[in-house]
Amino acid sequence: MGVRIGVLALQGDVSEHILAFRHALDGKGEVCAVRRPEEIADLDGLAIPGGESTTICRLVDKNAMRRPIEAFEGGIFATCAGMVLAAREVDDPRIAPLGCIDIIVERNAFGRQRESFETDVHIAGLRTPFHAVFIRAPVASRVGPKATVLGSVDRGVVAVRSGRHMALAFHPELGGDTRLHCMFLEHLQDTG
């Protein structure tokens, strides 16, 4: 049957992650959009995509998804706004983070939309840099002992892993490079 990956489909880069995970799985699994809380428990991995973090946070609560995500035993792949939601703590009181990854996140760390940029990021475990797209991106200002830094830029930590969970400040679903989606899939059995 293969791996089952869900992409939280409340707001943000949903279709881009679905396509990236389908490519990364290469026919050895299933990818679906997740819109209801009862769809979460049967997954092996859940992507929380980039988008607008305050909006996604409100929609998670409005759709009764907070508890199912907090209790989820599979891996979480959190990108951009997803990194904000997956954090233990966030610098914005409007966001109640899910606490999935032991990081403290500074939202919109690089500024507003016009300060968006692209750069190559050296990621632990990849032989060559990953070309990353940063759009109103966060950074992890603190990384707890349960998380491992995978990549940084001058402003701070932009990629972390904690057991089977992974959080990225940028948008790996843009640009056609699925190495980080593949890395996430490889670590779905981790327990630490």
Among 53, 2, 8, 12, residue whose Cα is nearest residue 185: 2
Instruction: List the catalytic residue out of 100, 173, 181, 187.
Output: 173
Expressed in percent and rounded to 5, the helix, strand and coil fractions of the chain are 25, 35, 45
- The span from the CA of 38 to the CA of 130, in Å, is 35
* Residue 66 CB neighbour total at 10 angstroms: 16
Instruction: List the catalytic residue out of 80, 106, 165, 181.
Output: 80
DSSP bridge partners of 152: 157
Question: Is residue 171 annotated as part of the catalytic site, yes or no?
Answer: yes
Question: Is residue 80 annotated as part of the catalytic site, yes or no?
Answer: yes
Instruction: List the catalytic residue out of 165, 171, 181, 187.
Output: 171
- The span from the CA of 26 to the CA of 156, in Å, is 33
Length of the chain: 192
Catalytic residue numbers, as ranges: 80, 171, 173
